[in-house]
């Protein structure tokens, strides 16, 4: 039987990506790779991870704070707290924060297993500071 996951505000596995932080709440071990849940926090003037798509993974974003922009296909759109965005597999996407306030996104990656990519992403950000 699966166990409940209880993490308080700010808890989880944190990855520093320059002016951005990813905080993972649940992934492979906790969900049997069915989904991944993380928070993405961007300081003012932060570009995201770069336009990309996923062959077999949907992504859901829920705006927690600020007014981040999200690229969906070829169009950037600005969102506000409470907005919900689902990006199906194969659709190009990215996110950024062009405002002067911090922005936060809750992310669901379906199916899971994304966190295993984080060491390589952290390494890329370390070698390519913004």
Task: Give the Cα separation of 41 and 46 in Å (integer).
Answer: 10
**pLDDT for res 130:** 66
**pLDDT for res 113:** 87
Residue-wise pLDDT for 65-116, tens only, equals 999 999 999 999 999 999 999 999 999 999 999 999 999 999 999 999 889 8
**pLDDT for res 120:** 87
Kindly tell me if the per-residue pLDDT of 1 is higher than 70.
Answer: no
Kindly report each contact of residues 43-46 with a partner whose C-beta sits within 8 Å and lies 24 or more positions away, as own/partner.
43/19, 43/97, 43/102, 44/97, 44/99, 44/100, 44/101, 44/102, 45/19, 45/97, 45/98, 45/100, 46/18, 46/19, 46/20, 46/96, 46/97, 46/103, 46/130
Residue-wise pLDDT for 25-76, tens only, equals 999 989 999 999 999 999 999 999 899 999 999 999 999 999 999 999 999 9
Kindly tell me if the per-residue pLDDT of 3 is higher than 90.
Answer: no
What value does the mean pLDDT of the chain take?
Answer: 94
**In the chain, what percentage of residues exceed pLDDT 70?**
98
**pLDDT for res 107:** 98
């Amino acid at each position: 039987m699966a166990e409940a996951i209880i993490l308080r505000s700010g808890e989880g596995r944190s990855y520093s990506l320059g002016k951005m932080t990813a905080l993972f709440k649940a992934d492979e071990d906790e969900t049997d790779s069915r989904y991944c849940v993380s928070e993405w926090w961007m300081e003012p003037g932060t570009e995201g991870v770069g336009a990309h798509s996923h062959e077999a993974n949907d992504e859901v974003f829920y705006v927690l704070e600020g007014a981040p922009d999200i690229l969906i296909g070829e169009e950037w759109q600005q969102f506000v707290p409470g907005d919900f965005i689902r990006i199906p597999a194969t659709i190009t996407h990215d996110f950024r924060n062009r405002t002067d306030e911090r922005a936060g996104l809750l992310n669901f990656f379906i199916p899971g297993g994304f966190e295993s990519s984080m060491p390589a992403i952290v390494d890329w950000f370390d070698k390519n500071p913004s």
